Amino acid sequence: MDLLPSDLGSQVSKKTSRSLILGLGQTGLSLFNYLIKFEQEPIIFDTRSDPPCKKELLKKRKNPLIISNLKEIAFDEIRLCYVSPGFDISHEIVTKLNTHNIEILSDLDLFLKVHAKKSILVTGTNGKTSVVSLLQHIMKSLELKVKSIGNNGFPVLNHIEDQLDYFVIEVSSFQIERTKSLSSLVSVLLNISPDHLDVHDSFQQYTKIKKRIFENSNFKIGPEGIGLDLDFIMPEITDHEIYNQEAVKRILLHIGLKKKSIEEKILSFNPPPHRLEDISLNKYLTIINDSKSTNPHSLNAAINKYKNEKIILIMGGVKKGSKF
């Protein structure tokens, strides 16, 4: 298997030519570890004085070039740039890169060049992690080699050399926005409601970004009314757990699994923590931890599940541009 993308390999021989990585979080570190296999050590730019993965990088490399001052970058020596999903793309450095005609890619660009035909992409305002976790559970139970990766905390490039049947990839709006070329076996948009409007200019822009998940996809699954030609339109189901299960069934039926086997394996699934998680201490008071509800749409779904009960609601956090 060729793990070296063609545009990456075309300029490796140029000793003065280096890649630039924007952001040294988990994704930035995975980019560094991947690129170092093929080229001169990449330069890292991060505006933070102590980036999250700096200590981990220093365990492997004695003197990596980590820059926080824009003026220290020689743009004529940069051939490609790779941006982390959490990096602010309104930063001045992005304008500089565009001025110098330096292409900006993401880790997902690199991964999908190698594994697009095995990749199931899942996005949506809510339910992404639950769906990719359920997909992995069922597929593994049916003896398929699979891993759920991406926005769920497992950077895709850490798994680019894995020999698997399928890759189930959770994709956020930030990842989509920073990815130039999307391609997949199956793509799923679970739902869209206002979120991250403190970063995206408007709900319209957020929606446009989310809908890019369908680019170059062999099978497209999404909700009704998004103005796109889909291969399967999700039915209107108010219970979000059943809705997510229906999306999972449709994905797995498409790749050839049997409905009865899928439904049997759903019953043995334990959802990820912090999602309608019962943490009750006694039989007199039911305590539900739904701290992964980080927007009004998700919170409303949780409340509806217990609408016939007396509810004490405790919540807090950042509004992210949402209206309550």
Q: What percent of the chain has pLDDT over 70?
A: 86
| Same domain? 228 vs 135 | yes
- Examine residue 296 and state whether it is found in any structural domain, yes or no: no
Q: What is the pLDDT of residue 15?
A: 44
User: 118 and 88 share a domain?
Assistant: no
Q: Does 192 fall in a domain?
A: yes
CA gap 220, 185 in Å, rounded: 9
**Pick from 84, 105, 126: which residue ends a domain?**
105
Alpha helices in 36-141 (DSSP H): 54-60, 92-99, 107-115, 128-141
pLDDT of residue 240: 87
pLDDT score for 155: 98
Examine the fold and report which residue of 86, 105, 124 is the final residue of a domain before the chain moves on. Answer: 105
Contacts with 210 (C-beta within 8 Å, 6 or more apart), sequence order: 123, 124, 125, 173, 176, 189, 192
266, pLDDT greater than 80: yes
In 61-106, which ranges are continuous DSSP H helix? 92-99
Assess whether pLDDT exceeds 80 at residue 283.
Answer: no
CATH number (domain holding residue 68): 3.40.50.720
pLDDT tens-digit readout, 166-209:
999 999 999 999 999 999 999 999 998 855 455 556 888 889 99
Select from 52, 81, 105 the last residue of a domain.
105
What pLDDT is recorded for position 174?
94
Classify residue 279: in a domain, yes or no: no
pLDDT at 97 (0 to 100): 97
Q: What three-state secondary structure class fits 9?
A: helix
Looking at residue 298, its pLDDT comes to 66
Lowest-confidence region among 58-72, 75-89, 139-153, 308-322: 308-322
Does residue 116 share a domain with residue 51?
no
Q: Looking at the domain assignment, is residue 221 inside a domain?
A: yes
Per-residue pLDDT, 251 = 98
Residue 1 falls within a domain, yes or no? no
Same-domain status, 145 and 195: yes
Average pLDDT, integer, range 6-33: 76
pLDDT for 4: 53
First CA to last CA distance, the chain: 50
Regarding whether 130 and 78 lie in a shared domain, the answer is no
What does pLDDT average to over the chain? 88
Q: Contact at 8 Å (CB) between 77 and 4?
A: no
Q: What is the mean pLDDT of residues 109-138?
A: 96
Beta pairing class for 277-278 and 288-289: antiparallel
Residue that the structure tokens 């943490």 belong to:
279
Per-residue pLDDT, 13? 38
At 267, the pLDDT band (50, 70, 90 cuts) reads very high
Distances (CA, A) of 317 to 153, 272, 295, 307, 314: 21, 21, 10, 23, 11
Residues 113 and 261 in one domain: yes
Residues whose CB falls within 8 Å of the CB of residue 186, separated by 6 or more in sequence, listed in order = 120, 121, 217, 218, 219, 220, 221, 251, 254, 255
Whether residue 7 is predicted with pLDDT greater than 80 in this model: the reply is: no
Asked if residue 171 and residue 36 are part of one domain, the reply reads no
- The pLDDT confidence band at residue 270, using thresholds 50, 70 and 90, is confident
Q: Are residues 100 and 125 in the same domain?
A: no
Residue 87 located in a structural domain: yes
Q: Sign of dihedral through CA atoms 236, 237, 240, 243?
A: negative
CATH of the domain at 153: 3.40.1190.10
State whether 27 and 44 are in the same domain: yes
Q: How many domains does the chain have?
A: 2
pLDDT at residue 161, rounded to an integer: 97
Is the residue at 288 inside a domain?
no
- Is 225 in the same domain as 129? yes
Lowest mean per-residue pLDDT among 26-30, 61-65, 124-128, 302-306: 302-306
Return the top range by mean pLDDT from 140-149, 221-230, 305-314: 140-149
pLDDT confidence of residue 311: 80
Report yes or no on 210 lying in a domain.
yes
What value does the mean pLDDT take over residues 117-128?
95
What would the pLDDT profile of 29-48 be if each residue is shown by its tens digit?
999 999 999 988 999 999 99
Q: Domain span at residue 117?
A: 109-266
Q: Are residues 12 and 115 in the same domain?
A: no
In angstroms, what CA-CA distances link 205 with 178, 202, 209, 223, 276?
Answer: 14, 5, 6, 18, 30
**Are residues 246 and 261 part of one domain?**
yes
